[in-house]
Each structure stands twice: as structure tokens, then as C-alpha cells.
Amino acid sequence: MNSGRTVFSQIMDFLPLYEFNKCVKRYRGNYKAQTFTCLNQFYTMSFAQLTFRESLRDIEACLNSLHSKLYHLGIRSSIARSTLADANNTRDWRIYADFAQVLINIARPLYVNEDIGIELDNVVYALDSTTIDLCLTLFPWAKFRQRKAAVKMHTLLDVHGSIPTFIWISDGKMHDVNVLDILEPEPGAVYLMDRGYIDFKRLHKFTENNSIFVTRSKSNMQYRRLYSHPSDVTTGILSDQTILLTGIETKKDYPGQLRRVHYYDAKLMKHLYFLTNNFSYPATTIAALFKCRWRVELFFKWIKQHLRIKAFYGLSENAVKTQIWIAICVYVLLAIVKKKLSLEMSLYTILQVASVSLFEKMPLNETFSDIDDEKNVKEQCIQLNLF
């Protein structure tokens, strides 16, 4: 790469700008925009995410202090917080949601062979949601409880590579199980869900689409045992049963057979009861699969700790969604950079190095060379890492 270019511009080179412009045209994002285009907005907000800026005033001060270098960052106009605020409030957030999906489609094939500790040919997804608390006085449109506001980010994570494949941003009142009405099950894929997603009418849709689900059984579930399969207690499997639901409504919602696996986790000293529509995997595989669901929890912790999705630069619904979607774009972009450059370091280390090197003019490979990631991991032993 040209050593005369900034690290920021070299990272942005991994963006498919042709696809970005298609997203902008789809929603007329540059309508009446004279100098501060959607691309300039994306670059500015990406800079804010990569350098942990706290406010619009912070972004304005930092970028304008280096005004002579803005052109080399790819930003073709000066930055004013009022202009950025207007762009976040008025330009359709779906531009960045669609572009995030473009980046996701680039990133997923790069991580398709990532080891998850289980040898399966199926795609494995983990489904969960996280709540982002807001101030009700400042965000009245996001009313959650009587004195609290919040938005909820429903996420379907590809366990291979921890890449989000589906994200739905709703108000805090939306129950987790309702996202199953929006999600279209992929035939042959495995979906890992917690008990909050148990609705047998909705789960039956997965079986009809030849998809596999693995969830935890509720303690008050009414069922009848049909068969008991052999199980090895030394592996933690205490029972492996084929069951039928006997509840008045549940037996109508899910008339077919289900599999109930009782697993004892000796490390946590906890009994776990799994429910699935798959009868071919070994019971130990079912238990191991559900452990992979924890990766979506790590994903939520990572983006909340290292990206700006808890404190927002704007108060409108459009501004909040724009900021969240651009944060997702930055996360996936860093994952693409990691694979394209064959970097061994963690995504956390890549983000930290990039944050202090954006204005440096040096080849991107040299920027991330000579980094002792194992030493960083030891020093940050309590730090959650992805990749």
C-alpha cells in the first residue's frame, strides 16, 4: 500500500463504495446535500467509533484540529456538529442498515471455516437480545417502563466468526419471542435460543422449514415421555428422552415429537434441560451446541464496552438507529480487515491499535506488526475478547 496514505483511509479501502452508493440512492440519502454527503457522514461517525469520541462537540473539535488532514481521511468538507446532528436526524437510518448487511455478506464467507469446537456441516446461529438503557426525559419515543426508556437490539449471530447476520432494533417493550415472527428460518441451520424464545407455535415453524432449534426447557412444561434413549452419565448426560407435549394449547401448537436432554454440568454444578427437534445428533453434541450460545452474550458485551452504542450523539429515533448501525458496520469492517490481512491478534487489539494510528501515514500491515497479543491478553485478563 501507499505509505503516504493514512491508516484510516486504508481501512476504509475495504469498504465496497459501489454498494454504499447503491444504498444511498435507494433512500435518496444525498438529496439536497451540498458538501456533507452520506459518505462523509459515515466516515465521520466511523472515526467517532474508532477513536471513542463521547459527543458531537468532541468529534468536531478533534477533526477540525486536524483540518489539513481531513482530505487524506476521505472527508471532503469541514465538520460542524450542527451539520452532523442534522444528518443523523434526517438521513434515513436504513442506508446504514442495508450497508451493514453488505459488509456482513462479505465477512461471513471469510469465517466459514472458523473452529467452534464442534464438527458440524450446518450453519450455527445464536439468537438473543440486549437492552440499551436510555433517559425517558430525553428519549420519550423509546418508552420502556413508567420511568425508564430503552431500545432493544435483537441479534442473530453466526457462531462461526461471531458475525451478526440479522439485527432488529425495537423499543424496549418488544418481547424477545416476537422476533421469531420476523425471522425466516434457514433450512438445515441450527438455532440456539434461551427460554425466552419458547413459543411452541413459533418453534413449530422451524420444524416445518427443516431447521433445527436447541433451547432450554421450562420447569412447568407439560409433557409425556415416549422413549428413553441410552445415555452415558460419565459424559454428563443423565437422560435422553423423546416426548410429546400434553398441555391443552401446546399440544395443538406443536403436535410433533420433541427431544428432551437432561445434562449435568459438573463445573457449574448445575442441571440443564435442553429441548430440540433434532433426533440425530448425539446428546453430548446438543449440550455442546448450547454452550456456543454464550458467544452472542460475549458479542453484546464487546460492542457495549468498545463501541459507542450506550451514549448517543442525537436524541431522535433516526439518530439512535443510525449510530447503532454504523457501529455494527465498524465492527464487521474490522473483522474483514482481520481476515484480509491474516492478522492473528484479537479484534480488541486491532481496535486499540487503530484508535491511536488513524492519522499515521504508514502501510496497514506495518501498523499491526510486532504486536505481542499474548502479552496484551495476559495484561487484560479480565477483558472479554472476540476472535
Provide the residue-wise pLDDT of the chain in tens; the chain has 387 residues: 445 788 998 999 999 999 999 999 999 989 888 888 999 999 999 999 999 998 999 999 988 887 777 777 777 777 889 999 999 999 999 999 999 999 999 999 999 888 888 888 889 999 999 999 999 999 999 989 888 999 999 999 999 989 999 999 999 999 999 999 999 999 999 999 999 999 999 999 999 999 999 999 998 999 999 999 998 899 999 999 999 999 999 999 999 999 999 999 888 889 999 999 999 999 999 999 999 999 999 999 999 999 999 889 999 999 999 999 999 999 999 999 999 999 989 999 999 999 998 888 888 888 888 665 555 544 444 555 555
Classify strands 258-265 and 223-229 as parallel, antiparallel or unpaired: unpaired
CA 217 to chain centre: 25
**What pLDDT was estimated at residue 311?**
87
Note whether residue 374 is domain-resident.
yes
Note whether residue 195 is domain-resident.
no
What nine digits make up the cell of 288? Answer: 455442546
Note whether residue 364 is domain-resident.
yes
Q: Please, which residues bridge with residue 169 across strands?
A: 153
Classify strands 124-134 and 190-192 as parallel, antiparallel or unpaired: parallel
What nine digits make up the cell of 33? Answer: 446535500
**What pLDDT was estimated at residue 378?**
47
User: Measured between alpha carbons, how far is 330 from 181 in angstroms, rounded to an integer?
Assistant: 28
Domain that holds residue 13: 7-96+315-379
State whether residue 40 is helix, strand or coil: helix
User: Measured between alpha carbons, how far is 107 from 103 in angstroms, rounded to an integer?
Assistant: 6
CA 148 to chain centre: 24
Cα torsion angle, 248, 254, 257, 262, sign: negative
Number of domains in the chain: 1
Note whether residue 122 is domain-resident.
no
Enumerate residues 6+ apart whose C-beta is below 8 A from 252.
Answer: none
Note whether residue 344 is domain-resident.
yes
**What pLDDT was estimated at residue 373?**
52
Cα torsion angle, 141, 143, 148, 150, sign: negative
Note whether residue 222 is domain-resident.
no
Note whether residue 39 is domain-resident.
yes
Note whether residue 270 is domain-resident.
no
